[in-house]
Homo-oligomer: A and B are copies of this chain.
């Protein structure tokens, strides 16, 4: 691929903007990153290291990585800086931003609506990572976009490792209503029921509850714009869910009806394709049971350093009322074998994953 991208300006140093900045920077593209929030901008610039682009010269492309309702305002401001502006956005809805931008003075051919499907329940530059988009779908709505901008957008997606998927803005909004916005509402509604728990009910929480409600940690201001901005596509899906829920309540005492509910869920799950699921990382996990007291974690990390292996990831799991904890460490398969032997020799309780 001929490199046409040399300098990119990113407005919005949140999770997505900063992750794109990290990916492009490590591919050698000059990146200028800015954010109205000075804390986010400063953290993002630290993450970028000392190679953050200076402000001199005009950029080939401006990536607007703000929440959807701010896009048209940013586009107006950027047009004042650079009348030759070409823009791509990354927001989770597409019909409304295209409408909004049409009033900003930017030609439709110079605005490329895109959406990387790589959100997380966490937000902000502290959650950013340069491989966030590796192997993830990146939806491109490129009807009416000029060929120069089209090439720039495809280069951004390729450098980030995303899988380009072309859709119309309407197809996009219909699909994400089903695979993203409906699950968000279901998870938030479910999580909000937990506030009705009595006494120590929540002590019995397990992995099922945690997974089912994970995305309920999402940012309220961002998601308010997404959900209200896509209400037209969402409403029929919510009404279908409401009808099915009412039927479950009516038939709750009937085991055959409950079996049908679970079977319908099994069938729906089978519809989720396996492919664009993000690049699988080839890590081997070691579970280590520790006494839950200060110094244990440091001792394990030290033991790993002594074995000269690199810890790829680490999770700490505590259990209610327990005197022991579980630390899970991720290693490359080669390092895993080395470190497991080393830790066992030192007397740690090591359980390799199957």
Interface string of A141-154 (1 = CB under 8 A from B): 00000000000000
Interface string of A267-291 (1 = CB under 8 A from B): 1110111111110000000010100
Nearest-Cβ distance from residue A281 to partner chain B, whole angstroms:
9
Nearest-Cβ distance from residue A106 to partner chain B, whole angstroms:
24
Asked if A206 and B119 sit within 8 Å, CB to CB, the answer is yes
Closest B residue to A211 using CB positions:
B211
Closest B residue to A272 using CB positions:
B205
**Which residues 188-217 in A have Cβ within 8 Å of B in the complex?**
188-217
Instruction: Indicate whether A10 reaches chain B with its CB closer than 8 angstroms.
Output: no
Q: A217-B269, A252-B235, A253-B231 are in contact. Are A224 and B188 (CB under 8 A)?
A: no
- Residue in B128, B135, B301 whose beta carbon sits within 8 Å of that of A298 in the complex: B301
Q: Which residues of B contact A203 (CB under 8 A)?
A: 137, 165, 175, 273, 275-278
Instruction: Indicate whether A334 reaches chain B with its CB closer than 8 angstroms.
Output: no
Q: Which residues of B contact A48 (CB under 8 A)?
A: 324
Q: Which residues of B contact A135 (CB under 8 A)?
A: 289, 317, 319, 322, 324-326
Q: A197-B178, A301-B297 are in contact. Are A131 and B351 (CB under 8 A)?
A: yes
Interface size on A, residues (CB 8 A): 152
**Which residues 141-194 in A have Cβ within 8 Å of B in the complex?**
163, 165, 171, 174-176, 178-180, 182-194
Instruction: Indicate whether A83 reaches chain B with its CB closer than 8 angstroms.
Output: no
Interface string of A308-342 (1 = CB under 8 A from B): 10111111111111111110100000000000000
Asked if B192 and A268 sit within 8 Å, CB to CB, the answer is yes
- Cα separation A206 to B140 with both chains bound (whole Å): 16
Asked if B216 and A322 sit within 8 Å, CB to CB, the answer is no
Nearest-Cβ distance from residue A80 to partner chain B, whole angstroms:
27
Q: Which residues of B contact A54 (CB under 8 A)?
A: none
- Cα separation A42 to B205 with both chains bound (whole Å): 33
Q: Which residues of B contact A49 (CB under 8 A)?
A: 323-324
Q: Which residues of B contact A311 (CB under 8 A)?
A: 297, 316
Asked if B46 and A220 sit within 8 Å, CB to CB, the answer is no
With contacts A179-B206, A298-B301, A314-B316 known, what are 20 further pairs, Cβ within 8 A?
A: A22-B322, A26-B321, A26-B322, A120-B207, A135-B322, A135-B324, A135-B325, A137-B320, A178-B196, A187-B212, A189-B265, A200-B277, A207-B277, A213-B265, A217-B266, A223-B262, A227-B261, A231-B253, A235-B252, A238-B248
